[in-house]
Amino acid sequence: MFRWVKSRAFFFALVLLVAAFMAWKGAYTWRDAFEFPWWGWGVAVLPALAGGGMLLCRRLGKALLPSSVCLWVVLLLSVVVDCSCNIFTYTAPWHLYLSVLMTMGCMLLLWAVLRAGAIAFWVLFLVLEIMQICGCMQYGSRINSLVVAETIEASWDDALAYMTPINLGMLALSFILSVLFCWGLKRTLRKQHSLTLFNAACLFGTASLAFGLLVPPHRQKIDFYWPVTEVPQLYNAASEALTINEATINQVESLTSPTAAPSQLHTLRGGEGVVLIVHVGESIRADRMSLNGYERDTTPWLRQQKHLINFPSCISAACDTCQAQIAMLTDARRDVHEKRPEMLPRTGSVLDLFAAHGFDMYTFFGRRCAQKLKYDRVVMVLSNRSRQKFNAPGSPWTAVPQMQAVLNQVAAGQNLLFFVNNEGSHTPFEHYDRQNTPFVPVATHFQNPAAQAQEVNNAYDSTIHYTDEFFRRVTEAVQHRPFVYIYVSDHGEYLGHDGMWGRAALGERHVSYHATTGCRVGMFVLYNEAFERLHPHFATALQQLRTNAALTVAHEHLFHTLLGLFKLQTPYYNETLDLTSPEVQPYSGPQPAL
Ligand SMILES: [Zn+2]
């Protein structure tokens, strides 16, 4: 009874009929111009391979195709895997029948080639895919090179922010699911001959591609053929991130310090007690500072300062922290992708020069500690002349008492360089005043940001307000000395701007950073009268800086402006990039249209 149900012919007839029905139901008309995508050649190659395999099977006396029970189980596993792990199952237009056929082909092929070794692949792959869906739903981005890069540069503390009960639960669940899947796969396929599996794999692959060709050309997407297309995608994301990561580290490590060339400081002799603060900020968009007209008062203290020179139009060099740091502190003019020799860095950190000319340098980082990571390697090289490096556990504000301690400990006439680089407004926007949060309610986990846009925006604005208070506290600590405080943010952030949430979305949307509003960052110079009066050059330079504040400036200006402000002479100085000079040229590189 029902012996025909158990036949392979019934299986193939049913599966192909259902798939054909799905394709037909998509209402594709033959009037659509038929265009043959490159992957369409698979429908010629795969059946030929299957035919060859079958001939060989006949000669070896093996079954041409796996048993029908085996095929039904593979179909069932494939449907379960596609419904739970394939991100495209949920995105219109629905093409589950194509990916199910392709998944069956992949399962059989991998087992035919790797046998039980395929288990390692499937466990890793399925866990990654489920976590990708989980991440995509919460944070709005798939795994791309920017996500991988951010993961590489995340400190342990950053990573902890993502270890939520949901994420940890999903990780455990995905692991259990993939182990169960592999157990089923092993039980089903272990007794089948590799060649038999190979034949069936080729047939399922052919069916998937053939039905896919019925989709009209303008709706064709290679993503229909998950999981085949997902593997190179993940590989490219990882390799691109690692290549850029390595190139960035190599770039900064290959630079010779500017102190290797002769240099001269014309304004200070030592003993003036000047404090120069260079603050490489984090993720502050210019348009979110009330200083630049934002309707919310995110920078209440800054905007009241008389001795403030604000640069409302500053373009950041890269959406990546490390590349931006190199563009700011060395004479590099663009990011690590730049090929034009005149835009490449010729020398290392400008901070080295100040350290060489009598400034005792102290560095104030945020709370990160894992210093072997890329994020830390680059900034460590750029600030390696520091006498001491501090971390600020808990909050960036912790740096203020540390600065105070340094000020108390060194001689009153000692010139100081404070290099500041902390978390600022980095996602997930955790650093704000918990007691008196200025903008409420806040959401600080960056999960599903679009659904709680107001809360996420409140958190972001509150971090800027918090940094404004940091500026106030630092300034208060150094105000009894002549000081100048230069702040530039490394890159912006996306909170629904340009249709995106988070910087990783740039990779998702294949948008150029400089085509978006996220590359306009906060920048200002703050000083006191004691500094201005200290040397006639300072007064002139600050005056000129104020005149140039209306120009479109960029990270490329910082290196030369620091040299120009102090009249620090070195062969690397370029007057056309010095904002304290009347000869300065505005930034003319890539930038978004106004
Ligand atoms: Zn950054």
CA–CA dist 313, 550 (Å, integer): 7
- Based on the fold, state whether residues 369 and 431 are members of the same structural domain: yes
Query: Residue 93 C-alpha to ligand 1 middle, in angstroms?
Result: 37
In degrees, to the nearest 5, what angle opens at C-alpha 22 toward C-alphas 20 and 28? 90
Tell me, in angstroms, the distance from the centre of ligand 1 to residue 332's CA: 17
Residue 253 lies in a domain: no
Quote the ligand 1 centre to 436 CA distance (angstroms).
26
Return the structure tokens found at 393.
């556990």
Q: Report CA(41)–ligand 1 centroid distance (Å).
A: 45
Domain shared by 283 and 225, yes or no: no
Report pLDDT for 370: 46
Instruction: For residue 288, report the distance from its CA to the centre of ligand 1, in Å.
Output: 16
- Retrieve residue 317's tokens: 């060099």
Assess whether 204 and 274 both reside in one domain: no
Interval between CA 227 and ligand 1 midpoint (Å): 33
Which of 71, 58, 95, 73 lies closest to 12, judged by CA? Answer: 71
Distance between Cα 396 and ligand 1 center (Å): 15
Q: What pLDDT score does 95 carry?
A: 83
The runs of H, that is alpha helices, within 422-575 are 453-478, 505-509, 529-534, 536-548, 556-566
Instruction: Name which of 538, 452, 441, 536 is nearest 495 in CA terms.
Output: 452
State the distance from the centre of ligand 1 to the C-alpha of 285, rounded, in angstroms. 11
Q: How far is the CA of 323 from the centre of ligand 1 (A)?
A: 9
How far, in Å, is the centroid of ligand 1 from the Cα of 425? 9
Distance from residue 320's CA to the centre of ligand 1 (Å): 6
CB atoms inside a 10 Å sphere around CB 154 = 19
In this structure, is residue 141 part of a structural domain?
yes
- Number of other residues whose CB lies within 10 A of the CB of residue 301: 17
Calculate ∠ Cα 220-226-232, nearest 5°: 100
Residue 245 domain-assigned (yes or no): no
User: Domain of 385: which CATH number?
Assistant: 3.40.720.10
Cα(286)–Cα(521) distance, rounded to whole angstroms?
4
One domain for residues 290 and 231: no
Q: How far is the CA of 130 from the centre of ligand 1 (A)?
A: 28
The CA 443 to ligand 1 mean position distance, Å, reads: 20
Are both 284 and 222 inside the same structural domain?
Answer: no
CA 493 – ligand 1 centroid, Å: 9
329 alpha carbon – ligand 1 mean position (Å):
14
Within this chain, do residues 234 and 275 fall inside the same structural domain, yes or no? Answer: no
429-484 pLDDT, tens digit each: 989 999 999 999 998 877 778 889 999 999 999 999 999 999 999 999 999 999 99
Asked whether 102 and 227 are in contact (CB, 8 A), the reply is yes
Identify the three-state secondary structure at position 325.
Answer: helix
CA–CA separation, 139 and 128 (whole Å): 15
531: CA distance to ligand 1 center in Å? Answer: 30
Å from CA of 321 to ligand 1 middle: 4
Confidence (pLDDT) at 162 = 81
User: 151 CA to middle of ligand 1, Å?
Assistant: 13
Is position 258 within any domain? no
Which pair of tokens denotes residue 19? 């798939």
Distance in Å, CA 280 to ligand 1 centroid: 9
User: In the prediction, which pLDDT does 9 show?
Assistant: 87
CA–centroid distance, 421 to ligand 1, in Å, is 10
577 CA from centroid of ligand 1 (Å): 23
Cα of 422 from ligand 1 centre, angstroms: 9
Among 240, 260, 289, identify where a domain stops: 240
- CA–centroid distance, residue 491 to ligand 1 (Å): 6
> What's the full length of the chain, in residues?
594
Q: Is residue 523 part of a domain?
A: no
Distance from the alpha carbon of residue 364 to the mean position of ligand 1, in angstroms? 15
368 alpha carbon – ligand 1 mean position (Å): 13
Query: Tell me, what DSSP letter sits at residue 414?
Result: -
Residue 385 tokens read as 């002349």
At 371 the pLDDT is 45
**Domain carrying residue 221:** 3-240
Determine the distance separating the centroid of ligand 1 and the alpha carbon of 146, expressed in angstroms: 12
Q: Quote the radius of gyration of the chain (alpha carbons, Å).
A: 30
In three-state secondary structure terms, 161 is helix
CA of 423 to the centre of ligand 1 (A): 8
Residues 35 and 177 in one domain: yes
- Claim to verify: residue 330 and residue 397 sit in the same structural domain: yes
Residue 256 lies in a domain: no
Ligand 1: distance of its center to the CA of 458 in Å?
19
- Is 54 among the domain residues? yes
Residue 248 lies in a domain: no
- Residues 6+ positions from 59 with CB-CB distance below 8 Å: none
Query: Do residues 216 and 285 both lie within one domain?
Result: no
Contacts of 380 (CB under 8 A, 6+ apart): 371
Per the structure, the count of domains in the chain is 2
221 C-alpha to ligand 1 centroid (Å): 34
Query: How many angstroms separate the alpha carbon of residue 100 from the centre of ligand 1?
Result: 41
Rounded to the nearest whole angstrom, what is the distance from the C-alpha of residue 490 to the centroid of ligand 1? 5
Examine the domain organization and report whether 294 and 427 are in the same domain: yes
Domain co-membership, 359 together with 470:
yes
Q: Determine the distance separating the centroid of ligand 1 and the alpha carbon of 518, expressed in angstroms.
A: 12
User: What is the distance in A from the centroid of ligand 1 to the CA of 92?
Assistant: 35
Q: Per residue in 360-386, pLDDT tens? A: 999 999 876 544 455 678 998 999 999
Instruction: Quote the ligand 1 centre to 322 CA distance (angstroms).
Output: 7
Residue 53 in tokens: 């395999």
How far is the centre of ligand 1, averaged over its atoms, from the C-alpha of 503 (Å)?
10
Confidence (pTM) = 0.77
Cα-to-centroid distance, 428 and ligand 1 (Å):
12
Contact 545, 565 (CB under 8 A): yes
Regions of the chain where pLDDT drops below 70: 1-2, 26-35, 91-94, 140, 153, 155, 157-158, 368-375
Same domain for 186 and 236?
Answer: yes
Q: Give the distance (Å) from ligand 1 centre to CA of residue 403.
A: 23
